């Protein structure tokens, strides 16, 4: 089954304790992205990756890191979490086609990770 | 930078009726994609419909259709024959051609009443 998986689904942690949220897709998509969802603000993009070893900042990258060492995985790292990073996080992947041709540009989302930083 | 606005934070509709959700966006791009996503209480993000800006014909998907007005930068979603399962948050989203920087609107909470 084609899917995007995230782990953990729920996490409660304390300020300053490093954490990683994993994201994996089995569709061989080039493009992957992380979002946070906050009430009244919709989804805001944190980081995205066009392919292996290619990452770029979205609209709200402060306090986050990412890496893309393999095509299927795109972990989100919070080196020193703070309470304002309490949010619902989504990972997504997209097939953009070969040389940008033929892709659907439709994002497939993971189930979300609810993070609470105390 | 692109922005997406959804001016209706909440809406309600009677079952079997028709409802239209509004979305406007701001961009200097000529080629781009527009999407409507649905988020039910399960929180899963589900694609409802997509529209390529270079296509003049409005996209339709069963009971869902859009009214895409490129010059006005408007992209409304019409849900016909509303069903209880349509109750959800609906997000309008913009993406430049070939990836990079999806931008979402703040969402409209739709309630379908029996």
| A38–chain B Cβ distance below 8 A for any pair | no
Q: Which tens digit of pLDDT belongs to each residue from B12-21?
A: 999 999 999 9
- The CA distances from residue A66 to B54, B63, B90, in Å, are 33, 39, 28
pLDDT score recorded for residue A57? 92
Averaged pLDDT, B75-88: 97
Half-sphere exposure of B41 (CA within 13 A, CB side): 4
Q: How many helices (H) and strands (E) does chain B have?
A: 0, 12
- The CA distances from residue A76 to A79, B11, B42, B75, in Å, are 10, 34, 22, 32
Q: Which residues in B lie closer than 8 A to residue A33 (C-beta atoms)?
A: 102
Averaged pLDDT, A61-79: 97
Selecting from B33, B91, B97 the residue whose C-beta is nearest the C-beta of A43 gives: B91
Closest CA of chain A from B76, distance in Å: 17
Averaged pLDDT, A45-71: 94
At A103, the pLDDT band (50, 70, 90 cuts) reads low
Half-sphere exposure of B52 (CA within 13 A, CB side): 8
In the predicted structure, residue B101 carries a pLDDT above the cut 80: no
């Amino acid at each position: 089954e084609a899917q995007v998986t995230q782990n953990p689904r729920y996490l409660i942690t304390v300020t300053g304790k490093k954490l990683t949220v994993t994201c994996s897709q089995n569709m061989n998509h080039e493009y992957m992205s992380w979002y946070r969802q906050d009430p009244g603000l919709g989804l805001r993009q944190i980081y995205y990756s066009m392919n292996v070893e290619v990452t770029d900042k979205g609209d709200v990258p402060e306090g986050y890191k990412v890496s893309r060492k393999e095509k299927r995985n795109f972990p989100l790292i919070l080196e020193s979490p703070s309470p304002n990073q309490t949010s619902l996080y989504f990972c997504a992947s997209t097939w953009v086609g070969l040389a940008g041709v033929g892709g659907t540009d439709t994002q497939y989302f993971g189930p979300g990770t609810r993070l609470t930083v105390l | 930078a692109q922005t997406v606005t959804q001016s209706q934070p909440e809406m309600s509709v009677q079952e079997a009726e028709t409802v239209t959700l509004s979305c406007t966006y701001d961009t200097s791009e000529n080629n781009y994609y527009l999407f409507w996503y649905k988020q039910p209480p399960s929180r899963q993000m589900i694609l409802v419909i997509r529209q390529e800006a270079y296509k003049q014909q409005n996209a339709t998907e069963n009971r869902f259709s859009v009214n895409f007005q490129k010059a006005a930068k408007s992209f409304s979603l019409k849900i016909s024959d509303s069903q209880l399962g349509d109750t959800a948050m609906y997000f309008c989203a913009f993406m430049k051609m070939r990836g990079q920087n999806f931008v979402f609107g703040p969402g409209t909470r739709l309630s379908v009443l029996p």
